[in-house]
Amino acid sequence: MILMDLGAIIQYYRTKQGLTQKELANGLCSVSYLSKIESGVIEPNLDTIKLLLNRLNMDYEKLTSYDEVAIDHRIDELNQKINDKQLDEAKKIVNELKEVITPFHHSDTQNYFQLNYFYYLISKEPSKRYNIDIQDLLTLEGTFSGRKLYYFYKVIGFYYSCHTNSKLANQYFHKAKEILDSQSIHDPELYYLLALSYMGMRQPVYSNYYCGMALEQFANDLLYNHVTDCYHLLGINYLNLGAYDISENYFNQVLQSKPMGRSPKVRSRATHNLGILHFRKEEYEKALACLHEALENHEKVYDILYSIYVIAKIHYLQGDKDKALKYIKRGEEILKSDNIVKLRYRYYILRHQIHNQTHDEEFLNKAKNVILPYYHTIGENHFIKELNELLAEIYSKKGDYKQASEYYKKLANIMIQ
């Protein structure tokens, strides 16, 4: 920070704190002298500047030591703390930078902080909506290059991953990978995120490929908590491939790992997916036991809603519609405050199945024209397959074999892919 900027800086912090010139100047200097300092008419007395900043709870030495290079370095540290999941430490850096970064700093510095502040927010509460508009953030793409552009693509991809748009997340992660390859950036988390996006798109072979790359680097870096994440992801991929014995082995490795297996967060993920595994094998009682244990440990709203949904689905398949509706209502109450569209549609479909209303034209129109296109947009191949199968069965029962044939063809194409 150069000395000639200090008048503007004082004005910035004074107005930010809602103080008048008279209130700030009281006992330190005259109002007219402060006015001339703020407008840059005079070169301020350094002792007076320090007194004014002290009244504003700002430290002169701290302010003047934070040039763009120092701030960029501190933002890099913030990024690393977020990557390492050290969010308490990240919060301290965020608060520090929010205090010292002003509109008088270079726009590149402000944009880089805005990006990483957004990264901190979505890492802290992934499904929440924030004051920072994603569309505004997307306009900053052209302001970054090199390593900063890499972080931009990674953060935007991470945002879409958190909001269950695996297809769009995957596109941004691949843009980041191009820069990672060209600049030899070491960041195994990107491979893990790519694997995660392919898992969300139900492309387990690609997911396993990138998960293997991430796993090797995490192990070399002795990041065993991330190794556990990879085992978990491999378990999900083998589950989606129908290799249930291999899948179950990975989930059990997660549960048996020490100390990670004792963590409620880790246990909730593993027991949930073991529940899905038993559900796919039609071992419903085992599935319910795992899912209820998962519910006791879940922290994220999405995980809670998904476990509740599968429990409701099992009771429906067992013919207990009352229990199924009980869990549907429980999930729908949560959805009132957390509108997770992907799961909202799942609940909508299951509710209509329970009430035998899937043949209604209103349901069919929404399923074909709203829900199915939405699942295509976010790349949810598993849900696309399920809905095509359901629509094919409905039209077959209605005697509309032409429509049924169309959906069976679409289903066959998905199976080939």
Looking at the structure, do residues 104 and 60 belong to the same domain, yes or no? no
Domain at 26, CATH number:
1.10.260.40
Nearest to 237 by CA among 197, 183, 266, 281: 197
- The amino acid present at 227, given as its one-letter code, is V
Looking at the structure, do residues 173 and 144 belong to the same domain, yes or no? yes
Residue 384, in any domain of the structure: yes
Residue 80, in any domain of the structure: yes
Nearest to 232 by CA among 276, 187, 201: 276
| Region of residue 242 (left: phi > 0; alpha: psi -120 to 50; beta: else) | left
Residue 49, in any domain of the structure: yes
Residue 158, in any domain of the structure: yes
Looking at the structure, do residues 60 and 118 belong to the same domain, yes or no? no
Task: Give the single-character DSSP code of 371.
Answer: I
Q: What is the pLDDT along the chain (417 residues), one digit of tens a residue?
A: 444 477 877 888 888 889 999 999 998 899 998 898 888 888 788 888 888 888 988 777 776 666 778 888 999 999 999 988 899 999 999 998 887 787 777 888 889 999 999 999 988 887 666 657 788 889 999 999 999 999 999 999 999 998 878 999 999 999 999 999 999 899 999 999 999 999 988 899 999 999 999 999 999 998 888 899 999 999 999 998 999 999 999 999 999 887 776 788 889 999 999 999 999 999 999 999 999 999 999 988 889 999 999 999 999 999 999 999 999 999 999 998 877 888 999 999 999 999 999 999 999 999 999 999 998 888 777 888 889 999 999 999 888 888 888 888 887 776 545
Q: What is the pTM of this model?
A: 0.74
Among candidate residues 185, 215, 231, the one where a domain is terminated = 185
User: Whole-angstrom Cα distance, residue 168 to residue 160?
Assistant: 6
Looking at the structure, do residues 154 and 84 belong to the same domain, yes or no? yes
User: Where does residue 333 rank: exposed (0-12), middle (13-18), buried (19+ CB within 10 A)?
Assistant: exposed
Looking at the structure, do residues 55 and 152 belong to the same domain, yes or no? no
Among candidate residues 65, 88, 117, the one where a domain is terminated = 65
Enclosing domain of residue 7: 3-65
Residue 136, in any domain of the structure: yes
Residues 37, 5 contacting (CB under 8 angstroms): no
Domain at 130, CATH number:
1.25.40
Looking at the structure, do residues 124 and 42 belong to the same domain, yes or no? no
Looking at the structure, do residues 166 and 89 belong to the same domain, yes or no? yes
Looking at the structure, do residues 85 and 140 belong to the same domain, yes or no? yes
DSSP 216-279: HHHHHTT-HHHHHHHHHHHHHHHHHTT-HHHHHHHHHHHHHSTTGGG-HHHHHHHHHHHHHHHH
Looking at the structure, do residues 83 and 180 belong to the same domain, yes or no? yes
- How many domains, the chain? 3
Looking at the structure, do residues 90 and 59 belong to the same domain, yes or no? no
Among candidate residues 157, 185, 213, the one where a domain is terminated = 185
Looking at the structure, do residues 81 and 105 belong to the same domain, yes or no? yes
Residue 285, in any domain of the structure: no
Looking at the structure, do residues 382 and 407 belong to the same domain, yes or no? yes
Residue 338, in any domain of the structure: no
- The amino acid present at 62, given as its one-letter code, is K
Residue 123, in any domain of the structure: yes
